């Protein structure tokens, strides 16, 4: 295979994917395996391009002398010719005669133009089969050009122009528009553009404080869990009342570890049951799509039935409460062993199966963030399984155990109102996550983060043992609340849930089918990847309305614990920090993915999570 033609740091002209436009870009790296260059556009967008889509700047300067002006009329003529092209074109192209082909090449040369309207330099030329076929698996569809041109126009013209584009893409305004037909065809065009896939390269920007940060987090996270649990066990869980450390041997019990293993295996068996539909995930960097079985909700129902049977046979579920710390230690030991296994197996994984976020080459960093994106044993997807089943369903079971423990310890015939609220709110949250299991396939956890210590510990230890802190707290620290207070907290939880659910559904529905008539009143900004960014509805209110709803719910989960201690508020405080950090990570990824369009979105929707505050 020939070696690379362009060096790192070299400034060249890179074709904007799916279009006939060339921009000035800088080569940042080269993937020897996939033979793709990672290039950076001036607006910050990073894309992987084939060598055939990159040209030296000098070749453009040479053509400049041949070029004529880039008048708008020329441009529109180029576009109208493009529009007649259909996705079936490549086959026709292959049938072309040699003379036609020669003619075509000459034609292409003639129409090469260069403009100097603004930076980045824009070059238009008539597309040819050769050019359009160079894109990884994308159909030869010059309609894609239209999208790129729209983006380009946005870049070149001031904000008024964006307003025009937004109006153009408003489905509502189209209804009465005379040009309905034309615009609809343009929308189809927009939807037809395939996302640009990027072959994973080395992770250059380290998150979580890099190597030192991830090293420290590996100790800090388990320490925090044990500190919180020990605090909760104390009669006075004030922050300054530091708990005394238990004897090491009291933390481990083989039987508890056995119960934990049984739980994990039971969930694995439920996951493997051939019930529930099988769906495809988002395309991987290779273009391949993995299949996932959606049966989390069934697993939950089966678990509920199993727990019912246990209770019927007088199994003391508060065993969980009595050995809570030992269960946490077992889960932590298991997640550490799992992380070691995951890292070792990732060393043999092919380059294209490594996680975009966990391929730095630094052991600690990759071990923590996860080196392999989708580790699977056969069709058993370890990350997908751990994300929603043993930990999340385990959280509900722990809450129930706390409720029973409260009744037993305090000799109650019914659980306290506070305990009922905490159990119900969190049950709703878990059931919602399992009911909408498919939505997890588009989250950062699945598409970007590898499976390593961070997610293994997070899913198996942090979620079940920290998120159940309020219920654990209430067992040792009974809190009485009145019915009006309970009603007010319930309303707060419902408001949070409504925002959280409708925002997530709005985006998920839009991603699945942008033409859905139910979304006809929403406006969006088109982007060069083919996906739009909603600018009205919940996603026009703040940039992460789903986080806002989630935080409101988190507050409603803590309030039933009263105001005697800050400990039950740990969750809401931690959750705000987590989501602010997550929002920043997502923002960074979106900026890379969408470049200028994302900046436009941020201008239009200035607040990230809290309206008028942040
Ligand atoms: P989000 O659901 O917030 O999705 C972010 C993605 O949405 C972006 O990367 C982008 O992806 C897309 N997007 C962003 N803006 C727009 C827009 N204007 N229009 C259309 N699409 C847009 O991701 P998370 O995974 O962070 O969160 C999912 C849910 O999980 C949230 O409700 C969150 O609160 C919850 N969560 C809960 C946690 C917990 O511990 N309880 C932890 C983390 C999250 P693209 O364009 O590629 O589609």
Domain locations along the chain: 10-56, 202-480, 482-613
349-375: average pLDDT: 89
Q: Which atom of ligand 1 is nearest to the CA of 601?
A: 18
Inter-residue contact 30 to 8 (CB < 8 Å): yes
What residues contact residue 291 under an 8 Å CB cut-off, 6+ apart?
278, 279, 280, 281, 379
Q: Is the pLDDT of residue 389 over 50?
A: yes
Q: Is the pLDDT of residue 156 over 70?
A: no
- Cα-to-centroid distance, 111 and ligand 1 (Å): 43
Look at 16 and 190; give whichever has higher pLDDT.
Answer: 16
Cis upstream peptide for 179 (omega within 30°): no
Q: Is the pLDDT of residue 289 over 70?
A: yes
Q: Tell me what pLDDT residue 358 has.
A: 80
Q: Is the pLDDT of residue 286 over 60?
A: yes
| Stretch (H or E) spanning 28 | strand 22-31
Q: Is the CB of 282 under 6 A from ligand 1?
A: no
Spatial separation of the C-alpha atoms in residues 486 and 420, rounded to whole Å = 10
Confidence of residue 43 (pLDDT cuts 50, 70, 90): low
Look at 368 and 115; give whichever has higher pLDDT.
Answer: 368
Q: Is the CB of 584 under 6 A from ligand 1?
A: no
Q: Whose CA is nearest to atom 7 of ligand 1?
A: 507
Of 54-58, 142-146, 171-175, 558-562, the one with minimum mean pLDDT is 142-146
Q: Tell me what pLDDT residue 55 has.
A: 83
Q: Is the pLDDT of residue 108 over 60?
A: no
Spatial separation of the C-alpha atoms in residues 168 and 187, rounded to whole Å = 10
Q: Tell me what pLDDT residue 119 has.
A: 27
Q: Whose CA is nearest to atom 20 of ligand 1?
A: 533
Tokens 């983060």, located at residue: 449
Q: Whose CA is nearest to atom 27 of ligand 1?
A: 443
Tokens 């082909």, located at residue: 101
Is the entire prediction scored with pTM above 0.85? no
Look at 423 and 246; give whichever has higher pLDDT.
Answer: 423
Q: Is the pLDDT of residue 493 over 90?
A: yes
What integer best gives the mean pLDDT of the chain? 77
Tokens 């920290």, located at residue: 466
For 10-56, CATH gives: 2.30.30.140
Q: Is the pLDDT of residue 102 over 90?
A: no
78-88: average pLDDT: 31
Confidence of residue 20 (pLDDT cuts 50, 70, 90): low
Q: Tell me what pLDDT residue 210 has.
A: 87
- Cα-to-centroid distance, 162 and ligand 1 (Å): 25
Q: Tell me what pLDDT residue 350 has.
A: 87
Tokens 């869990």, located at residue: 225
Look at 367 and 46; give whichever has higher pLDDT.
Answer: 367
DSSP for 258-316 reads HHHHHHHHHHHHHHHSS-S-EEE----TTS---EEE--HHHHHHHHHHHHHHHHHTT--
Q: Tell me what pLDDT residue 79 has.
A: 32
Top mean-pLDDT range of 74-83, 172-181, 447-456, 504-513: 447-456
Query: Could you give the C-alpha distances from 1 to 27, 32, 33, 34, 144, in angstroms and in order?
Result: 20, 10, 10, 11, 31
4-29: average pLDDT: 77
Inter-residue contact 229 to 325 (CB < 8 Å): yes
- For 445, the 3-state DSSP assignment is helix
Confidence of residue 137 (pLDDT cuts 50, 70, 90): very low
- For 43, the 3-state DSSP assignment is coil
Inter-residue contact 278 to 437 (CB < 8 Å): no
Q: Tell me what pLDDT residue 529 has.
A: 79
- Cα-to-centroid distance, 7 and ligand 1 (Å): 36
- Cα-to-centroid distance, 610 and ligand 1 (Å): 15
Q: 22: phi > 0 → left, psi -120 to 50 → alpha, else beta; which?
A: beta
- Cα-to-centroid distance, 439 and ligand 1 (Å): 10
Inter-residue contact 256 to 243 (CB < 8 Å): no
Q: Whose CA is nearest to atom 23 of ligand 1?
A: 443
378 exposure class (CB count in 10 Å sphere: 0-12, 13-18, 19+): exposed
Q: Tell me what pLDDT residue 91 has.
A: 32
Q: Is the pLDDT of residue 60 over 70?
A: no
Max CA pair span of the chain = 93
Q: What is the pLDDT of residues 412-428, one digit of tens each?
A: 999 999 999 999 999 99
Both tokens of residue 138?
């994308």
Phi, psi of 13 (to 5 degrees): -110, 120
Phi, psi of 440 (to 5 degrees): -70, -20
């Amino acid at each position: 295979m020939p070696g690379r033609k362009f060096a790192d740091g070299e400034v060249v002209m890179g074709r904007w994917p799916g279009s006939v436009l060339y921009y000035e870009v800088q080569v940042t790296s080269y993937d020897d395996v996939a033979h793709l260059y990672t290039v950076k556009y001036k607006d910050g967008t990073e894309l992987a391009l084939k060598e055939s889509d990159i040209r030296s700047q000098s070749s453009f300067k040479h053509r400049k002398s041949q070029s004529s002006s880039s008048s708008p009329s020329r441009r529109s003529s180029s576009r109208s010719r493009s529009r007649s092209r259909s996705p079936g074109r490549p086959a026709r192209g292959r049938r072309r005669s040699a003379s036609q082909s020669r003619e075509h090449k000459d034609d292409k040369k003639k129409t090469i133009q260069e403009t100097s309207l603004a930076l980045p330099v824009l070059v238009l030329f008539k597309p040819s089969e050769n050019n359009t076929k160079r894109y990884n698996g994308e159909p030869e569809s010059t309609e894609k050009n239209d999208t790129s041109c729209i983006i380009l126009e946005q870049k070149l013209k001031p904000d008024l122009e964006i307003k025009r584009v937004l109006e153009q893409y408003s489905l509502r305004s189209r209804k009465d528009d005379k040009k309905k037909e034309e615009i609809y065809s343009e929308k189809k065009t927009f939807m037809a553009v395939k996302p640009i896939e990027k072959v994973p390269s080395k992770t250059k920007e380290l998150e979580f404080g890099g190597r030192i940060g991830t090293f420290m987090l590996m100790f800090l996270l388990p320490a925090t869990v044990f500190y919180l649990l020990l605090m909760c066990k104390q009669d006075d869980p004030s922050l300054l009342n530091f708990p005394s450390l238990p004897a090491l041997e009291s933390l481990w019990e083989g039987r508890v570890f056995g119960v934990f293993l049984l739980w994990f295996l039971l969930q694995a068996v439920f996951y493997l049951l051939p019930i529930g539909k099988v769906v495809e995930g988002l395309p991987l960097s290779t273009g391949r799509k993995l299949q996932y079985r959606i049966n989390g909700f069934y697993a939950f129902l089966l678990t509920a039935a199993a727990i019912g049977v246990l209770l019927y046979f007088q199994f003391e579920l508060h065993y969980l409460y009595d050995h809570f710390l030992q269960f946490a230690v077992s889960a932590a030991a298991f997640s550490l062993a799992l992380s070691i296994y995951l890292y070792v197996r990732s060393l043999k994984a092919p380059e294209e199966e490594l996680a975009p976020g966990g391929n730095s080459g630094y052991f600690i960093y990759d071990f923590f963030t996860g080196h392999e994106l989708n580790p699977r044993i056969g069709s058993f997807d370890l990350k997908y399984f751990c994300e929603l089943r043993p930990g999340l369903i385990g959280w509900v079971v722990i809450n129930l155990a706390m409720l029973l423990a409260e009744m037993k310890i305090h000799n109650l015939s019914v659980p306290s109102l506070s305990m009922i609220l905490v159990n119900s709110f969190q049950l709703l949250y878990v059931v919602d996550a399992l009911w909408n299991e498919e939505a997890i396939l588009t989250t950062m956890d699945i598409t970007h983060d590898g499976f390593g210590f961070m997610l293994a510990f997070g899913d198996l230890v942090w979620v079940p043992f920290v998120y159940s802190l309020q219920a654990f707290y209430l067992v040792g620290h009974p809190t009485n609340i009145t019915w009006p207070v309970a009603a007010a907290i319930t309303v707060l939880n419902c408001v949070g849930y409504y925002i959280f659910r409708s925002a997530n559904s709005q985006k998920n529905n839009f991603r699945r089918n942008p033409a859905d008539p139910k979304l006809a009143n929403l406006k969006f900004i088109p982007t060069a990847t083919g996906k739009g960014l909603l600018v009205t509805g919940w996603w026009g209110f703040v940039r992460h309305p789903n986080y806002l709803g989630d935080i409101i719910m988190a507050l409603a989960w803590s309030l039933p614990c009263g105001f005697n201690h800050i400990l039950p508020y740990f969750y809401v405080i931690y959750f705000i920090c987590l989501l602010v950090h997550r929002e920043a990570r997502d923002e960074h990824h979106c900026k890379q993915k969408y470049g200028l369009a994302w900046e436009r979105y941020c201008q239009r929707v200035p607040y990230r999570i809290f309206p008028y505050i942040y």
